[in-house]
Amino acid sequence: MTTESLGAEQGRFVADVAAKLSGFLGAQQETMSTISSDVIPLMGSITNLVTGGKRLRALMCYWGWRGAGGESAHPDIITAGCALELFQAAALIHDDIIDRSDTRRGGPSVHKRFSQLHEREGWALDSERFGHAAAILTGDLCLSFSEEAFTQIGARAASGTSARRIFNLMRAEVMAGQYLDILEEVAGPVRDRAGAVKRAQSIIRFKSAKYSTEHPLALGGALAGASKELLQGYSAFALPLGEAFQLRDDVLGVFGDPGTTGKPAGDDLREGKRTVLVGFAINQAGAADSAYIDSMLGRQDLGEAEVAEIRRIIVDCGALEATEAMIEELSNEAFEALDRLPLAELPLTALRQLAEAAVSRAA
């Protein structure tokens, strides 16, 4: 096995998923166009969102499939990758509405695009409300497409199969995790501060970690007929990896370079996210600094000076150091579990590269 052969196989899969998405959404657009030309912007928003991106979930699914003996370039795993990308897009559309985030990958988020459409056309009533409503419907449509794509796999993904159970559980857990996230934003300030980090860990596990890494990897394995033992091994590797991945995302949400992340500096703070990083800060900072963070979280008018002050508190109280230590601990746990997996060299190397990129990324 060479780096070139791994890269070539992975590149072919990514290209195949992109082609599948293009064909699938093209067919959907033809159907939607028979309803009205006015609904075409919904399709354009979905197509724009699934074009590009890291394809982390699709790739985890692919190497879970290959690790369990699945053939390269098989139509079923390409379709599964397509379904995961559509589900990811639906989650991002709804997440940006919930978080009041106006940017996604360096451009306007879907709800912001619809608000801008409203303003350009000079339509009546409130542009922001229209943007949110249209984006909710776009996200729902994308979620429906994800289910339709997954069903196209056929027998491997039929009701009662391990793959179907994983796909269903993944979607339900993300919704539950999203609710825990918005609940913590409003209830966190009056809840037990000592439990803030533990609650934030639960949120990242169900809102992000499981559907970013654990479930996609297991889904690919299940589609290829993986044993129960292999699926358990996949989870032992992918769950701590997913948690480390999200913790890195939370650090970037406060300290990341906007030119690299594609989001304004401190955007997570304006969105009021009570992450593990924030939980550590609230617990470890002095009373005045802790109260300052509480008073600033979720303020849409948070300026650069306030963001800089919160960053200072996070660093000075050791919250950033504690979060980085947790990332390292989870990463070590993931790589140790990876070393125990009974995989061939190609999928093992591919998973190692994906894992390294996930925890050391700058965007």
What is the C-alpha end-to-end distance of the chain, expressed in Å?
29
- Selection from 50, 45, 47 nearest residue 26 by Cα: 47
Cα 233 from Cα 230, distance rounded (Å):
5
Q: Look-up: residue for tokens 């289910």?
A: 147
- Let me know: does 33 contact 310? Beta carbons within 8 Å: no
Instruction: HSE, CB side, 13 Å, CA atoms: give it for residue 77.
Output: 33
- Let me know: does 205 contact 178? Beta carbons within 8 Å: no
- pLDDT 10s digits, 169-214: 999 999 999 999 999 999 998 898 889 999 999 999 999 999 999 9
Which residues make Cβ contacts (< 8 Å) with residue 16, sequence separation at least 6? 73, 78, 81
- Let me know: does 197 contact 284? Beta carbons within 8 Å: no
Cα 271 from Cα 83, distance rounded (Å):
28
- Let me know: does 145 contact 79? Beta carbons within 8 Å: no
Question: Whole-structure pTM over 0.75, yes or no?
Answer: yes
Digitized pLDDT (tens) for each residue of the chain, 363 residues in all: 556 689 999 999 999 999 999 999 999 999 999 999 999 999 999 999 999 888 999 999 999 999 999 999 999 999 999 999 999 999 999 999 999 889 888 789 999 999 999 999 999 999 999 999 999 999 999 999 999 999 999 999 999 999 999 999 999 999 999 999 999 999 998 898 889 999 999 999 999 999 999 999 999 999 999 999 999 999 999 999 999 999 999 999 999 888 777 777 788 999 899 999 999 999 999 999 999 999 999 998 999 999 999 999 999 999 999 999 999 999 999 999 999 999 999 999 999 999 999 988 776
Cα 87 from Cα 83, distance rounded (Å):
6
Q: Kindly report the backbone phi and psi dihedral angles of residue 88, in degrees, each rounded to the nearest multiple of 5, phi listed first.
A: -60, -45
Beta-strand ranges (E) seen in 254-294 are: none
Q: Strand, helix or coil at 107?
A: strand
Cα 262 from Cα 54, distance rounded (Å):
14
Apex 134 CA angle, 132 and 140, nearest 5: 100
